[in-house]
Amino acid sequence: MDCAAPDIHLTYWLTSDLPEEPPATALDVLSPCERSRCERLLFGRDRRDFAAAHALLRAALSATANRPRSEWTFEAGRFGKPHLAPAIAAHTPISFNLTHTHGLVACAVVKQADVDVGIDVEATERHEDLSELAGEFFSIAEAVEILHLAGDDRERRFYETWTLKEAFIKALGDGLSHPLNSFCFRFDRCGTLRLELSDMVEAATWQFALLDVIGQYRLSLAVRDRSPVARRVVVCEATSVDARIAPSASLLRASPRLVVSTRGPLDRVARRHSRSPR
């Protein structure tokens, strides 16, 4: 592909089959501060997912730039978005973001400093009040569209919209200081995604990808990229901190300038997960 912009590496790890305590290989690379945050979590599965997410991010950063996993240090922005500590960022231009929910952790990493990346995952659980939640948090157009859908379609669209909105907020780094109903996602009939903002020039700088993971999760990526060049997103599935296989995730939608590859690092690896999609 003739594409000058560095790839975005999106890696996820399905953790629900792991024992409900942090894998030793994950704990080993965490900083003292990460370990103490991990230990303070009440439930074993939360400690497992926290350690897995942070070790996965460290492994992805080390695959992008030549630095041992345990030697990455981070600082947080005004609303909590982590970035590389200035001493490292000065000579290692990287943007990244991290997400975790029960049973799935993921990160996105790109070797470029001036792009904003956000990632969010949610389990598509049954919930009685989806329309109410959409009315409370989404734009009017998004909430109306969800109201017009029935059953599983309504549920799916709710989580798709939710993760896209969260990924956008996370790329901005503003947290909930950014009103969630001040922007709107459109699911175009041609299979693409469109962000509506009051500033159309700004809206045009944003690209999104939406993935299904084993029929049980929706995973969204948001990228603010001022370059008009197409960019590749390489999706990988981790089976441990070190091992990667071809992903079982499938692409649902993407903006025109994101070229999403779900072939993974090894073309001939059998797909591992056979759980039936919902």
Ligand X SMILES: CC(C)(COP(=O)(O)OP(=O)(O)OC[C@H]1O[C@@H](n2cnc3c(N)ncnc32)[C@H](O)[C@@H]1OP(=O)(O)O)[C@@H](O)C(=O)NCCC(=O)NCCS
Contact residues toward ligand X (CB under 6 A) are 50, 53, 79-82, 97-100, 120, 137, 162, 165-166, 169-170, 173, 175-176, 180
Write down the least CB distance from residue 94 to ligand X, Å: 14
Write down the least CB distance from residue 251 to ligand X, Å: 20
86-111 in b/e form (b: 16+ CB < 10 A) is eebbeebbbbbbbbbbebbbbbbbbb
Write down the least CB distance from residue 14 to ligand X, Å: 15
Write down the least CB distance from residue 248 to ligand X, Å: 20
The residue among 181 and 261 lying less far from ligand X, judged by its C-beta, is 181
Q: What is the 3-state secondary structure (H, E, C) of 215-233?
A: CCEEEEEEEECCCCCCEEE
Q: Is 169 in a helix, a strand, or coil?
A: helix
**How is residue 262 written in tokens?**
């779900």
Write down the least CB distance from residue 177 to ligand X, Å: 9
Alpha-carbon distance of 277 to 95, in angstroms, equals 32
The residue among 246 and 252 lying less far from ligand X, judged by its C-beta, is 252
Cβ proximity of 94 and 60 under 8 Å = no
DSSP readout, 91-122?
Answer: T---EEEEEEETTEEEEEEES-SS-EEEEEEE
The residue among 166 and 237 lying less far from ligand X, judged by its C-beta, is 166
The residue among 58 and 165 lying less far from ligand X, judged by its C-beta, is 165
Say which residues have a Cβ less than 8 Å from residue 204's Cβ, sequence separation at least 6: none
The residue among 139 and 255 lying less far from ligand X, judged by its C-beta, is 139
User: Is residue 195 exposed (0-12), middle (13-18) or buried (19+ Cβ within 10 Å)?
Assistant: buried
Write down the least CB distance from residue 176 to ligand X, Å: 5
- The vertex-159 CA angle with 155 and 165, nearest 5°, equals 145
Write down the least CB distance from residue 205 to ligand X, Å: 18
Q: Is 10 in a helix, a strand, or coil?
A: strand
Q: How many Cβ atoms from other residues are within 10 Å of residue 1's Cβ?
A: 8
The residue among 5 and 98 lying less far from ligand X, judged by its C-beta, is 98
**How is residue 37 written in tokens?**
């945050």
The residue among 185 and 247 lying less far from ligand X, judged by its C-beta, is 185
